[in-house]
Structure 1
Amino acid sequence: MKRRQMLKHFALATTAAMLLPSCIKDPKKVSIALSNLNVTGEEEELLAAIADTIIPDTDKPGAKTVGAHLFTLVMIDDCGNKESKEKYMRGLRAFDEACEEISGKSFSDLSVEERLTLLKKIDKNEVGLKEDVVTFYMASKQYIIQGYTSSQYFLTEVKPYQLVPGPGWKGCIAVSETPNV
């Protein structure tokens, strides 16, 4: 009798041990798979906050909503060489520290106006930042804008994309007369 109880308890404990990891969800996981970059959920949120500051949501979706920050990560992951990826990641990890030195708060704790003011100062190079941080911000800004302007929303709603050769082209026209050659 004790053996059966022990086997039941052992089977229950084994099942619980197998199911427990799938029940616990890490809320700070990166939402996309990257091959070469090791980005945390907090770093992705920081990049999303920067994207939301550069192109905010208005009556139209902003950069964060269309996923321009994810586009940025994919572009850095796929297109950069090893040195540029390392420099980008060093800048990403040092960005919040730099914000705290300048404003006394982390970037995510700043108000929208303070974020915008800080990014404008970085653009104009008014604050002395490390080269890695400036490189990170400038590359992120470039890819966020590129990601937004190449998003499905932008190309269908804001500036509709026209397929080449366009609606005025007539590819098949009957030739009524041929010129004398």
Structure 2
Amino acid sequence: MNRREAIRNVAILLGSAVSASTLSALEGCNPKGPDNYALQAPETKKMLAEIVETIIPETDTPGAKAARVDEFIALMLNDCYKPEDQQLVLDGLKKIDDAAQKQFKKPFVDLNEEQKAGILTEIDKERVAYNKRENKKEKDPAHYFQILKELTLIGYFTSEAGATKSLRYIQVPGKYEGCIPYAKGEKAWAM
């Protein structure tokens, strides 16, 4: 099994419906990448770090920032996504920052956790409405927040911190147990 198949399987196991744009990005990479330097800019990475930490915050397990999911997203977008999808996400980051400026008169990265969560919750409602609209066409681009959320989940649960600290993990090779009892509230198993 290669990395792309593993990432796809993790996304499916997480119970999320991965968008077509994310799956198509996993199908092939341009080894050179499109060289979108805006994705590697320090302010972009800082913004991504705050967004992913708001989506998966640090609790008794490491958060997405500790798992360096922001770097994963920047790399995936740069190396695997089409330029128009990259621009969609970059424009989306600007929309998130604009929403923070409009509501709190501060950049998103300077907001407290509650304010960040409020902004992203509203944007997530917008994403749901966008995906459920009646005039949706198959070729329409994914919502930028859909891409960010999916890459956050994939990046986190395929990271060492996500797979070993947030999920139950037994290093392979291990014994095979076909039927393992599950008690409500236990962690899911890592692949």
- Return the offset for 1:71: 0.8
2: distance between equivalents of 1:151 and 1:53? Answer: 17
- Return the offset for 1:58: 1.5
Q: Tell me which residue corresponds to 1:46.
A: 47
Q: Tell me which residue corresponds to 1:155.
A: 163
Q: Go from structure 1 to structure 2 and tell me whether the alpha carbon gap of 1:41 and 1:110 turns closer, same or farther (over 3 Å shift).
A: same
Give CA deviations for 1:57-80 in whole Å, capped at 9, x if unaligned. Answer: 122110000111111111111211
2: distance between equivalents of 1:95 and 1:105? Answer: 11
Contact 1:154 1:160 in 2 (8 A): no
Superposed structure 1 runs of 4+ greater than 3 Å apart: 161-164
Unaligned segments of structure 2, at least 5 residues: 1-32, 131-141, 178-191
Please tell me the root mean square deviation across aligned C-alpha atoms, in Å: 2.7
Q: Pairwise mapping of residues 30-69 of structure 1 onto structure 2 (< 5 A)?
A: 36-39=35-38, 40-69=41-70
2: distance between equivalents of 1:119 and 1:167? Answer: 42
2: distance between equivalents of 1:139 and 1:56? Answer: 18
Q: Which stretch of the first structure deviates more once superposed, 147-156 or 63-72?
A: 147-156
Q: Tell me which residue corresponds to 1:168.
A: 176
Which one-letter code corresponds to 2:71 in the other structure?
L
- Find the structure with the greater CA-based Rg: 1
2: distance between equivalents of 1:135 and 1:75? Answer: 17
2: distance between equivalents of 1:94 and 1:46? Answer: 12
2: distance between equivalents of 1:43 and 1:64? Answer: 14
Contact 2:99 2:119 in 1 (8 A): no
Q: Tell me which residue corresponds to 1:7.
A: none
Matched, 1:140 2:139: no
Which one-letter code corresponds to 2:98 in the other structure?
E
Contact 2:62 2:162 in 1 (8 A): no
- Return the offset for 1:140: 1.2
How many residue pairs are counted as aligned between the two chains? 130
TM-score when normalising by structure 2: 0.59
Which one-letter code corresponds to 1:38 in the other structure?
Y
Q: Which stretch of the first structure deviates more once superposed, 58-67 or 80-89?
A: 80-89
Which one-letter code corresponds to 2:152 in the other structure?
I
TM-score when normalising by structure 1: 0.62
1: distance between equivalents of 2:37 and 2:100? Answer: 22
Matched, 1:80 2:81: yes
Query: Alignment identity in percent?
Result: 30
